[in-house]
Structure 1
Amino acid sequence: MILRRNIVLLFPVIFILLFAACEQSGTPLPRGYFRIELPEKEYRTFDTIFPYSFSYPVYARVIPDTRPNAEPYWADVYFPGFRASLHLSYKTIKNEDQLFEYTEDGRNFINRHIPKATGFNETIYTNDEANVHGMLYEIRGREAASPMQFFLTDSTRHYLRGSLYFNVTPNNDSLAPVIRFLSEDIRILIESMEWK
């Protein structure tokens, strides 16, 4: 009888020990991200009735902006494989004050990213032959909403601002390979820009 009672008490203890031994170790594993397939680089020209033209990758689409607040010649360069869009805002310059206003608006927009940014890179672009001048801003930081922005102008008539956005929760650490990949495309767009 004592043996039977000991076996009955021992059975739950053995069961609990076996169950506890089957758990995974308490060591946390690093979070993994999906492998992102990057397409081959190939470009085509956007040349329509818009007052500007540029080269963009074949894996992107240029879509005129039809939102209610959109102005003429605004467009999005949409990268469906990356759920990303490069928003292009065009303005006609009528006087020197407008150029200053557009440039300051662009800088203020970039400055809104400072609380989430860990750093900035600024690159000056000058193409005297095409009369295209501007600045590219690369915004570093895990939660920066727009990792790349730029403006281009001829200082007398044309002003174009671009901002790269992803249609995902910002985590630029995991998006870093895609941001690097698309930064090449944005540089090609800037370097190939021509006014009409």
Structure 2
Amino acid sequence: MNFKAIFLILLLICAVGCKDEVFPKPKAMLRLEYPEMATKKLEVDCAYGFEYSEQAHLELNKDCSLTLDYPDMKGSIFISYKNVEGNLQKLLSDAQKFSYEHVAKADNILEQPFVNEGDKVYGMYYEVKGNAASQSQFYLTDSISHFVTGSLYFYTKPNYDSILPAAVHLQKDVRQIMETMRWND
């Protein structure tokens, strides 16, 4: 064998044999980071107002119902308004029933009462865990004239593990809406 052949064989052995050991990748969670929530005040001619995230795109309807759309997270918060006209019990019953329609797909529904005595805002927050269509819902009222309901939905088939980071982030906005709700009387 000549020198060139031996050199090529040695070079080939070195090239093939000098690779790093292959290790399996460790299991890990995808880390999604969303910017801190900067808020702005709702500036519309309706019976209520609140602060919401600047990330949201506002779509207002004539009946003062609105949608806060979050295109980057593929989700929306839908808010509707009703006047209380002696029908508070029905409005409360409907809001509670609507929240519990998700119980078939939900793993758990956590209820958290909300009371802001100073501004006369009372309600309930529902955090829905599992593959339900809506990840959180709420209702707010002054018990006399105003009733607001809200729901968080994503534009995708519910897969709780996949949407959890976005759901947690948007639930903070839902809480911001609830905590800053004011009636415009």
| Alpha-carbon contact 1:57-1:185 (below 8 Å) kept | yes
| Alpha-carbon contact 1:78-1:85 (below 8 Å) kept | yes
Residue of structure 2 in register with 1:12 after alignment: none
Taking only the aligned residue pairs, the percentage that are identical comes to 33
| Alpha-carbon contact 1:150-1:161 (below 8 Å) kept | yes
Residue of structure 1 in register with 2:156 after alignment: 168
Superposed displacement of residue 35, structure 1? 5.3
Matched, 1:145 2:133: yes
Residue of structure 2 in register with 1:125 after alignment: 114
SS in 2 for 1:168: coil
Matched, 1:159 2:117: no
- Structure 1 length-normalised TM: 0.76
Give the 3 Å change call, closer, same or farther, for CA 47–65 of structure 1 in structure 2: same
Instruction: Return the match for 2:166 from 178, 181, 188.
Output: 178
C-alpha root-mean-square deviation of aligned residues, in Å? 1.9
Superposition map of 1:55-70 within 5 A: 55-65=51-61
Superposed displacement of residue 62, structure 1? 1.6
Residue of structure 2 in register with 1:6 after alignment: none
Residue of structure 2 in register with 1:49 after alignment: 45
| Alpha-carbon contact 1:120-1:139 (below 8 Å) kept | yes
Instruction: Return the match for 1:85 from 76, 98, 118.
Output: 76
The letter for the 2-side match of 1:61 is H
**In 2: Cα distance, 1:192 partner to 1:99 partner:** 22
**In 1: Cα distance, 2:96 partner to 2:174 partner:** 19
| Alpha-carbon contact 1:139-1:146 (below 8 Å) kept | yes
The letter for the 2-side match of 1:158 is H
**In 2: Cα distance, 1:40 partner to 1:151 partner:** 25
The letter for the 2-side match of 1:169 is K
SS in 1 for 2:170: helix
Superposed displacement of residue 47, structure 1? 2.5
The letter for the 1-side match of 2:127 is E
Task: Give deviations 1:143-177, integer Å, cap 9, x for gaps.
Answer: 20001000000000000000000011111211111
Superposed displacement of residue 94, structure 1? 1.0
- Structure 2 length-normalised TM: 0.81
Residue of structure 2 in register with 1:23 after alignment: none
The letter for the 1-side match of 2:141 is T
The letter for the 1-side match of 2:68 is V
Task: Give deviations 1:58-107, integer Å, cap 9, x for gaps.
Answer: 111221137xxxxx111011111111111101000011xx1111111111
